[in-house]
Amino acid sequence: MYADIKEDLSVQKTRALQVDMPSNLDNIRIILVEPQIPGNIGSTARVMKGMGLSQLVLVNPAPWRDAPDSWRMACSSTDILGNSSVVSTLEEALEGVHYLVGTTHRKRADILPQAITPRETGEKIAAVSQNKVVGLLFGREDKGLTTENLSLCQIYSSIPMARKNPSLNLSHAVMVFAYEILMASLTEIPPERLDLAEISEIERFYQRVAKLMARVGFAPYNDDWNTLLYALRRVFGRVSLEKRDLNTLYLIFAEIDRYITRAIEKPIF
């Protein structure tokens, strides 16, 4: 009996459940937009390493490299923290990303369709990341993601929570999503078959469409060109644009541009 107990205790001193990390996790990029608390950045690195994630991108973060809390909270994950990428803009963070998921605890029905759960999100990310790069976007601690940030996303997700306190620490939120991604990735999930265009390529297309509309005298609501960009993202964001889709759209708008050019000036496309 005692031997059996000792054996059980020895087992408990090791990890009860360990897994080999699926290779698709290397295609997942955790993007923190303007994180304000160094300890949260370190804690996020710790969460990521435990769940097999390695790509951490910080967009315009508060100073953290010389903050003791960053490294203390990272614990044994200082390699993830030290190798993180720091960029000034979200556009830089999205270079090479094919699919973008935004996280929020606020209802944003005016921007995107109904939010999905982390479990559904994990399944989608696990599928797309088999052969494409996926970005998972988290906002700053006090404000979350902006409307403009969310308008860039194909889907957005929210963690179901009690009404009395519907908010989590940043690294805790990352943990919820990272766990669901790992669990989904451990199953036999078919890869995304679409040859998705990169987010940055799609955004450049939207900018060219806006310039073309300006040439023909189009005036957006309140002269705010962001409203047109939001509309374009909302329309085309309902589907995942493939490279061939984007090429077709370029051809269509380039032909319109040439038609206008014959009557006006140099082309945009």
Element (H, E) at 175: helix 170-185
When the pLDDT of each residue in the chain is averaged and rounded to a whole number, the result is 88
Q: Which of 192, 135, 184, 189 is nearest to 19 (CA)?
A: 184
Alpha carbons 7 and 171: distance in angstroms, whole number: 35
Tell me how far apart the terminal alpha carbons of the chain are, to the nearest angstrom.
79
Tokens 């290779």 appear where? 23
Query: Predicted confidence band at 10 (pLDDT cuts at 50, 70, 90)?
Result: very low
pTM of the model: 0.87
Residue 8: the pLDDT is: 40
Write the pLDDT tens digit of every residue in 149-169: 998 999 999 999 988 877 889
Q: For residue 192, how many other CB atoms are within 10 A of its CB?
A: 20
Is 138 in a helix, a strand, or coil? strand
What is the model's pLDDT at position 55? 98
* pLDDT 10s digits, 229-241: 888 888 888 788 9
Return all residues near 202 (Cβ < 8 A) that are at least 6 apart: 236, 241, 246
Which of 120, 105, 221 has the alpha carbon at shortest distance from 172? 105
Helices (H), 51-106: 68-74, 78-82, 90-93
pLDDT tens figures, 85-131: 999 999 999 999 999 999 998 776 565 667 899 999 999 999 999 99
Instruction: Give the Å distances, CA to CA, from 50 to 47, 183, 209, 247.
Output: 5, 13, 43, 40
Give the residue, 46 or 104, on which the prediction is more confident.
46
pLDDT of res. 220: 78
Please give the average per-residue pLDDT across 16-21, as a whole number: 81
Q: In what order do the strands lie in the sheet with 99-103?
A: 85-87, 55-59, 28-33, 134-138, 99-103, 155-157
How many CB atoms lie under 10 A from the CB of residue 68? Answer: 10
Query: How far is 184 from 123, CA to CA, in rounded Å?
Result: 5
